[in-house]
Amino acid sequence: MALKTRSIRGTRDVIPEESHKWRHVERVTGEVAAAYGFLELRVPTIEKTELFVKSVGDSTDVVQKEMYTFEKGRESITLRPEGTAGIVRAALENGLLNGALPLKVRTQLSCFRHENPQAGRLREFHQFDIEAFGSAGPAIDAEVILVANDIFARLGIRNVSLEINSIGCPECRPKYNEKLVAYFKARESVLCETCKQRLLRNPLRLLDCKEERCSAIAKDAPKITEQLCEACDTHFTGLQARLRAVGLDFTVNPYIVRGLDYYTRTVFEFVSGEIGAQATVCGGGRYDGLFEQMGGPLTPALGFAIGLERLIMVMEAQGCAFPAETPCDIYIGSMGERENIKALELATALRRRGVRALCETGGRSVKAQMKYADKLGARFSCIIGESELASGSVKVKNMQTGESSESALEAEDVLAVIK
């Protein structure tokens, strides 16, 4: 077919036969977070560009290369590349921090990044995101990580590994950065061009360069976990004690630095070995300085986002169950004008009782109608003809067993049969 306009590279349609998977993960993620007290917040898809420049950071790949930004009037506007910045803005703008703290919010959102599309990496993708504001200690870090873990468990996912790190605070990180820069500077000639820039602008990112020559150097670099100040070290130890107490396996990976600038102390990722190179299903961490940076009060905060496309990919790779949904409980066939009107009447009454009832709208033969009912996977069917109309009763057929039961041509009676 010579389609005149095709979809944009890196975007995806969710067709009806897949949408139940999305409804399932959207429901379960929301339910699990709600059980931990996370309330739903919804924020706009577009924000002022400066919001992301200030929070995500102007030296990050996201801001430098990946944002969809456009001018409208005198404003520079950006399609959100992630959720945290907008959620923090919304919390400040709506005075949410004046209520009870910690404030816990959850949301589900589409994000846009102009990356090179590949399996698990899209230009429009979706995240389930939670954020907790106002708790400084490691107890909330453990709780947030547990939410992600519970989501995986509820969805039947096995074998996603949790990796944690602490990237310090404004007290200890500058000292660590100095050591890191000195280490890499001594090996600068071998580094890729991007890492040479990172030396000047964003030394932590030197640790997660994917170029082999750079990662070979990075593996012997000084580790941040050995350079933490006492407060950061105590926090990180407290988190590990809690994860052990609840039996959650994890590894400390001193090379997790995350791609966004706002993080402090705890950072973590859940990684799957089953979906290829884009293996991080969930990423998050603490960002204790962001509220102040955005003009608000000093407010400790942390959260995570799960990439929903990757989550579904893991579930598919592991053969996890997605609850089946029947698109049609009963198909009401008819022959003739009066019968077709009666079918509409019965379908309407059933729909008002929550039944997925379909009736003929195309004026097809009874044979064609029944073929359609079969294709739809209707659980039950019936045909209203002249004699059914006259007698006020109809045979309701169970499409799986082939058995039929007689029912009055009334919604309540039909309902009793198909329940």
Sheet with 46-48: strands ordered across: 46-48, 75-79, 68-72
Q: What is the largest CA-CA distance in the chain?
A: 94
Q: Is the peptide bond before 174 cis (omega within 30 degrees of 0)?
A: no
DSSP per-residue codes, 137-150: SHHHHHHHHHHHHH
In contact, 318 and 274? CB cutoff 8 Å: yes
CB of 122 to ligand HAM, least distance (A): 4
Structure-block tokens of residue 304: 């995570």
Handedness of CA 290, 126, 78, 269 (dihedral sign): positive
Give the list of residues 6+ apart from residue 338 with CB closer than 8 angstroms, or none. 389
From 97, 109, 43, 53, select the one nearest 76 (Cα to Cα): 53
Q: What is the dihedral of CA 203, 208, 214, 219, to 10 degrees?
A: 100
What distance in Å separates the CA atoms of residue 99 and residue 328, rounded to the nearest whole number? 45
CB of 260 to ligand HAM, least distance (A): 6
Structure-block tokens of residue 20: 């139940």
CB nearer to ligand HAM: give 115 or 211: 115
Residues that bind ligand HAM (CB under 6 A): 82-84, 113, 115, 120-122, 125, 127, 129, 131, 259-260, 280-285, 303-305, 307, 309-310
Q: What is the dihedral of CA 223, 224, 228, 233, to 10 degrees?
A: -90
From 398, 401, 413, 392, select the one nearest 331 (Cα to Cα): 398
Residue type for 369, please? Q
CB of 308 to ligand HAM, least distance (A): 8
> What does the chain come to in residues?
419
Terminal alpha carbon distance of the chain: 43
* Secondary structure of residue 109 in the 3-state scheme: strand
What 169-172 contacts at long range (C-beta under 8 Å, 24+ apart), as own/partner pairs, is: 169/229, 169/231, 169/232, 169/264, 169/265, 169/288, 170/264, 170/289, 171/229, 171/231, 171/232, 172/227, 172/228, 172/229, 172/232
Number of neighbours of residue 378 by Cβ within 10 angstroms: 23
Determine whether 116 is exposed, middle or buried from the number of CB atoms within 10 Å of its CB (0-12, 13-18, 19+): exposed
